[in-house]
Amino acid sequence: MEYFNFHTHQFTNQSNILELVNQYPQEFDASIPFYSIGIHPWYIKDGQIDFELKIIEEKLQSKNCLAVGECGLDKRIEMPLDKQIPVFEKQLLLAEKYKKPVVIHCVAAFQEVIAVKNKLNISVPLIIHGFSKNIQVAEQLIKEGFYISFGKYLLRNPDLKNVFQNVPSDRFFLETDTIEEGIEQVYNLAAEYKELELKELQSLISSNCKNIFERK
């Protein structure tokens, strides 16, 4: 594996890239080799939650299911937070039961996500995907034990350079999510920002993968 794409919605099937492809319970594609599966806060539907949680639990028992998610909390949607939180909590508890890391979607709800983690005493790795906030938020997340994944906003927003440079080398991942650019472009910019050779960055991320996916 030369590249690890921590979170993507597009399976490109390239031999040098390991892609963690986001899947939804009722749109599952068995042909995708490695995936995460979860209920995104945008797609919470009353009456379907228990059924979807059963699908998630079934898939979590497969070695090809590497993580739960993406799931999380989003304050900028119509779905009330008090409906989002129980669905998020149930997925975190499943992740804890099957010892899988969690891909987290978080919009304007970092304090709430941290509070849920601490309330439930979650010990599996939690990774905030698509990070776009300031150093203060990043530092708090790191302090609380989270990992952070960068992608679209790293490419689009030069102000994130300083934030990314300050994230410890053992606490970040890189992703493409829904952007057209390939993971290679994200790696190249990340290597430039961290002042590393590409191979050094690849080795770092490979080590981070082992830390979250090969835990006992």
Determine the average pLDDT of the residues in 140-149. 98
Counting the structural domains of the chain, the total is 1
Rounded Cα gap, residues 54 and 31, in angstroms: 20
In tens, the pLDDT along 26-39 reads: 999 999 999 999 99
Rounded to 10 deg, the angle between the 110-120 and 135-143 helix axes is 0
| pLDDT at 216 > cutoff 70 | no
Q: How confident is the model at residue 214 (pLDDT cuts 50, 70, 90)?
A: confident
Cβ proximity of 18 and 4 under 8 Å: yes
Domain CATH code at residue 130:
3.20.20.140
Q: What is the extent of the structural domain holding 46?
A: 3-213
State mean pLDDT over 149-172.
Answer: 98
Per-residue pLDDT band at 209 (split at 50, 70, 90): very high
The whole-number pLDDT of residue 155 equals 98
**CA-closest candidate to residue 60, choices 96, 87, 98, 29:** 98
